[in-house]
């Protein structure tokens, strides 16, 4: 299927209404990442997988129309069964749409809100176009802003450059400063790639000590080496993170975090792992058993199976033709979601840390298991080492929480253990050689 290009300039076009009966397979809750400016961005980060998506809509203005905006917000708000609705904007670079677009979108969303519903707004940005006006809007409407930073200057500038290949660090820091000065709630999204993979503590401490952020999301760069920009082929570019180093990167940060930052720094990977050790949903789609409840909306109303699968094969339809709830409930999308579990190779099915990993994201499953079965995650070696490494501390934290204590007590238990005794994490090593300080 090729992406549809909807113009809809005739004013009497009616976008679809909520189905009278909720489709049987519709998720009760789902997540939409909307790209009001499509893949268009003012920067040209070398590893970015969105820019190649421009080719899918060649000749397009890449600007969400009033019709799509209204259909999107109405369908999203009326489909959600819970009291909270998250409205998430991404790109490309969504701030290219201008402040007025977002002011208007807030009004449209508020107009569709039902009594008792709480609308929560999030936006992911590279931060370079932020102004006082943007920050006022974010603060006044309690936006959670995700800002992309890959670490200190030299690591950030390795790949995050503009269209002239000029570095962007100073412009991003200016954006961070504006957010901070205006009391905007923000967190950092950090890609882990070939340039920063060997500097985990420099990256983590920069966020904690220099940027003073409390929430960090680490995103491994696995960039397939092909000309299509799609999830095809089994080789990766030289910018991609190395699997074993990805594991080492997570472990180095985890070991610092578990000794001194539990309860004050929040690293999404670690929160997700703790949830898994507690037997709860991980809260990150990549670690869930199945997926399919996080779709991507293009500027023209095209809905794709996932933000990482904005490809003709994964186009579900257009929300100006079919209600998004029906697209989410469609057999194609349900199969997309369950395939994550049903295509796991035996190596994963028998893996001791499968409960936490679940084979991670299907987009990264293009290598072979030691016995030759296709479909193993490229990052497997890293995840295996990481999840095995955190098992002891995770068990301790999970037990603390089950007993009504706080997880941060793990820091005292680990660091104050008798130095010559066994480490309480269960590693079998002496405490002084493990977690004791």
Helix axes 380-402, 268-277, angle to 10 degrees: 60
- Here the tokens at position 361 are 């994201």
Residue whose CB is less far from ligand SF4, 218 or 294: 294
SS3 state of residue 412:
helix
Residue 348 interacts with ligand SF4 (CB under 6 A)?
yes
Give the CA angle between residues 363, 353, 241 to the nearest 5°: 40
Residue 334 interacts with ligand SF4 (CB under 6 A)?
no
Residue 282 interacts with ligand SF4 (CB under 6 A)?
no
- Distance CA(194)–CA(348), nearest Å, equals 26
Q: Considering only CA atoms, which of 212, 218, 237, 193 is closest in space to residue 286?
A: 218
Residue 149 interacts with ligand SF4 (CB under 6 A)?
no
Number of residues that bind ligand SF4 (CB under 6 A): 22
Residue whose CB is less far from ligand SF4, 240 or 320: 240
Residue 359 interacts with ligand SF4 (CB under 6 A)?
yes
Which range of residues in 119-127, 149-157, 361-369, 428-436 is near ligand SF4 by CB under 6 A? 361-369
Query: Binding ligand SF4 by CB under 6 A: which of 34, 40, 96, 291?
Result: 291
Residue 361 interacts with ligand SF4 (CB under 6 A)?
yes
- Distance CA(207)–CA(298), nearest Å, equals 31
- Distance CA(320)–CA(6), nearest Å, equals 8
- Here the tokens at position 432 are 């002084």
Burial of 53: CB neighbours in 10 Å, binned 0-12, 13-18, 19+: buried
R_g of the chain, CA atoms, integer Å = 22
Residue whose CB is less far from ligand SF4, 224 or 308: 308
Of residues 371-410, those binding ligand SF4 (CB under 6 A): 377, 380, 383-384
Of the listed 225, 307, 321, 408, which one is catalytic?
A: 307
Residue whose CB is less far from ligand SF4, 250 or 306: 306
SS3 state of residue 60:
coil
Query: Binding ligand SF4 by CB under 6 A: which of 347, 391, 392, 435?
Result: 347
Task: Give yes or no for a contact between 95 and 129, defined as CB atoms under 8 angstroms apart.
Answer: yes
Give the CA angle between residues 37, 41, 44 to the nearest 5°: 160
Residue 362 interacts with ligand SF4 (CB under 6 A)?
yes
Q: Is 307 part of the annotated catalytic residue set?
A: yes
Residue 213 interacts with ligand SF4 (CB under 6 A)?
no
Q: In 179-280, which ranges are E strands? A: 185-192, 215-220, 266-267
* Smallest distance, ligand SF4 to C-beta of residue 306, A: 3
Of residues 2-31, those binding ligand SF4 (CB under 6 A): none
Which range of residues in 98-106, 125-133, 284-292, 414-422 is near ligand SF4 by CB under 6 A? 284-292
The catalytic residues are 307
Binding positions for ligand SF4, rule: CB under 6 A = 285-286, 291, 294, 306, 308, 340, 347-348, 351, 353-354, 357, 359-363, 377, 380, 383-384
């Amino acid at each position: 299927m090729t992406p549809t290009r909807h113009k809809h300039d005739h004013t009497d076009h009616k976008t679809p209404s909520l189905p009278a009966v909720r489709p049987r397979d519709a998720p009760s809750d789902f997540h939409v990442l909307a790209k009001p400016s499509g893949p268009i961005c003012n920067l040209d980060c070398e590893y970015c997988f969105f820019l190649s998506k421009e080719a899918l809509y060649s000749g397009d203005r890449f600007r969400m129309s009033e019709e799509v905006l209204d259909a999107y917000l109405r369908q999203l708000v009326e489909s959600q069964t819970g009291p909270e609705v998250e409205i998430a904007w991404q790109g490309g670079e969504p701030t290219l749409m201008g402040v007025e677009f977002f002011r208007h979108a807030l009004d449209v969303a508020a107009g569709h809100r039902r009594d008792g519903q709480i609308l929560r707004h999030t936006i992911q940005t590279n931060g370079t176009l932020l102004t006082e006006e943007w920050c006022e809007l974010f603060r006044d409407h309690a936006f959670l802003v995700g800002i992309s930073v890959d670490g200190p200057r030299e690591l950030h500038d390795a790949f995050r450059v503009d269209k002239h290949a000029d570095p962007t660090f100073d412009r991003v820091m200016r954006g961070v400063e504006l957010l901070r000065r205006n009391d905007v709630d923000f967190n950092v999204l950090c890609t882990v790639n070939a340039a920063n993979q060997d500097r985990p503590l420099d990256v983590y401490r920069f966020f904690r000590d220099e940027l003073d952020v409390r929430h960090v999301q680490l995103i491994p760069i696995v960039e397939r080496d092909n000309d299509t920009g799609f999830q095809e082929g089994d080789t990766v570019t030289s910018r991609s993170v190395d699997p074993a180093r990805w594991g080492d990167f997570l472990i180095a940060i985890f070991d610092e975090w578990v000794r001194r930052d539990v309860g004050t720094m929040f690293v999404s990977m670690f929160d997700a792992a703790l949830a898994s050790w507690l037997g709860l949903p991980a809260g990150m789609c990549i670690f869930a058993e199945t997926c399919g409840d996080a779709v991507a909306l293009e500027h023209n109303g095209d809905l794709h199976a996932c933000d990482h699968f904005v490809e003709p094969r994964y186009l579900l339809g257009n929300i100006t033709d079919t209600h998004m709830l029906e697209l989410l409930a469609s057999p194609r999308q349900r199969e997309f979601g369950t395939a994550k579990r049903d295509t796991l190779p035996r190596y994963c099915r028998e893996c001791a840390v499968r409960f936490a990993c679940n084979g991670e994201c299907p987009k990264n499953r293009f290598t072979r298991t030691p016995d030759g079965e296709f479909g193993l995650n490229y990052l497997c070696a890293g995840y295996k080492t990481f999840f095995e490494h955190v098992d002891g501390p995770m068990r301790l934290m999970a037990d603390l929480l089950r007993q009504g204590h706080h997880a941060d007590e793990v820091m005292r238990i680990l660091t104050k253990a008798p130095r010559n005794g066994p480490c309480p994490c269960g590693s079998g090593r002496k405490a002084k050689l493990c977690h004791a300080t």
